[in-house]
Structure 1
């Protein structure tokens, strides 16, 4: 069994994360159109370690990923500095095979050379405390990433947790049948929407939005909140927050100068 076959089998069959369920034929965009988005959160040991990680990402990891065909690698920092420094990385995969190949990144000789300061850091002086990661699959209404226009300065990474697998599917349905369209006309520019299939806080829907600046973000959300169709949809039985959403995490992020998203 190949590494990629094993990974695909694990993702599909794992009882912990649930199966990647097939959408009804009328709604399914086709496997080729479905992309996968991995979000990584690096919690650093100390503020001075951020430059070590960022140099590795910029000069070693991103070029190596690009050589493997993994494009549009995003690197983001919290808009407001946190007590413990963190860095978020968004990876876009065209398939699970591509994801599996990216796990062999250390086989890249150029990466080993360019990333030596990071890769060879001693255990007593580690760069990060831990890396958390979750993998999402594009939803039917937005199966692939929409790369934002250049100049976008403010991003939101939002996580909608649901009380059960069934209600999690209901929240995704809500976006597919109407909420995505309302987002678009309100100026809430979607970068990706992904149903988490491996990772913490499941079941959840994770998505990213982009804006030219903070004022555009605030205006878009204000427009969305008073949209007549949204006002109707959010009060429709079966789609109310109290029924299908248990917690929302909202992260306001800014892209690094070398981010490809």
Structure 2
């Protein structure tokens, strides 16, 4: 915890002092042993955690649950908090710690801090308004072997045109961001939204078949810049802001 705090303070000094316009995100991932723990955390998040953050001025807080699959069989809740000041997220979190229930209500929690891409500097809540239980939020993490190859992949999204292509194909991205403190670095993460599983599959087929994508991925300078990809299918809770 001490080392993590040192890393966080270092990055916050570097990032805040640079006066960038890009937002920062905190992504908390709660893991549960059973549905009872998840229900207890739901109650805490909806009745205590989110109201306290909103009282401090935080907006567009997303809360999601994972779709259980063979590859993702552990019950999880994802909480995404955006802010233009990374330390405001961290300081608010420390104040809320005193409000956590005394009894155990999750098995473990992982916290990730991110910085928005230059070509999508602000979080955009999904405009979709269909049934929440059908909506697909797809969270992806792209890891790279080296910092150089990682920066190359970030450039591929920004200057290379991946972000633009996702917009043109209607992926309804919520955010694209670089991980600045987490357990899988160097990596980037992004979240897209789809009306349902069928539309998600159609969107990705359009992406894979796109002449723009096939030209981009064949460019020599963008070769071998991703070593591992994690894909998580999520759906919003009833108390999520989107």
User: Could you tell me the TM-score, scaled by structure 2's length?
Assistant: 0.87
Tell me if structure 1 keeps the 8 A contact 2:7–2:181: no
Structure 2 residue aligned with 1:151, among 101, 126, 129?
A: 129
1:51 corresponding residue in structure 2: 39
Residues in 1 aligned to 2:204 and 2:178: alpha-carbon distance in whole angstroms = 22
CA shift for structure 1 position 148: 0.9
1:221 corresponding residue in structure 2: 204
CA displacement 1:103-131 (0-9 Å, x = unmatched): 233388xxx4xxxxx5121xxxx111211
2:149 corresponding residue in structure 1: 167
2:107 matched to 1:129?
yes
CA shift for structure 1 position 136: 0.6
1:37 corresponding residue in structure 2: 25
Residues in 2 aligned to 1:251 and 1:83: alpha-carbon distance in whole angstroms = 11
Q: Structure 1 pair 232/90, CA: closer, same or farther in 2 (3 Å)?
A: same
Structure 2 residue aligned with 1:102, among 71, 92, 98?
A: 92
Partner SS for 2:89: helix
Q: Structure 1 pair 69/143, CA: closer, same or farther in 2 (3 Å)?
A: same
Partner SS for 2:222: coil
| Structure 2 residue runs without a partner (length 5+) | 1-5
CA shift for structure 1 position 236: 0.4
Q: Structure 1 pair 78/107, CA: closer, same or farther in 2 (3 Å)?
A: closer
Tell me if structure 2 keeps the 8 A contact 1:47–1:84: no
Further displaced range: 129-138 or 77-86: 77-86
How many residues matched?
230
Tell me if structure 2 keeps the 8 A contact 1:135–1:199: yes
CA shift for structure 1 position 32: 5.0
Residues in 2 aligned to 1:171 and 1:220: alpha-carbon distance in whole angstroms = 21
Q: CA RMSD in A?
A: 2.3
CA shift for structure 1 position 155: 0.3
CA displacement 1:172-205 (0-9 Å, x = unmatched): 1001121111111112221001100001100001
Structure 2 residue aligned with 1:245, among 209, 226, 234?
A: 226
CA shift for structure 1 position 49: 1.1
User: Could you tell me the TM-score, scaled by structure 1's length?
Assistant: 0.81
CA displacement 1:13-65 (0-9 Å, x = unmatched): 7xxxxx76x9xxxxxxx835210111111111322111100011011100111
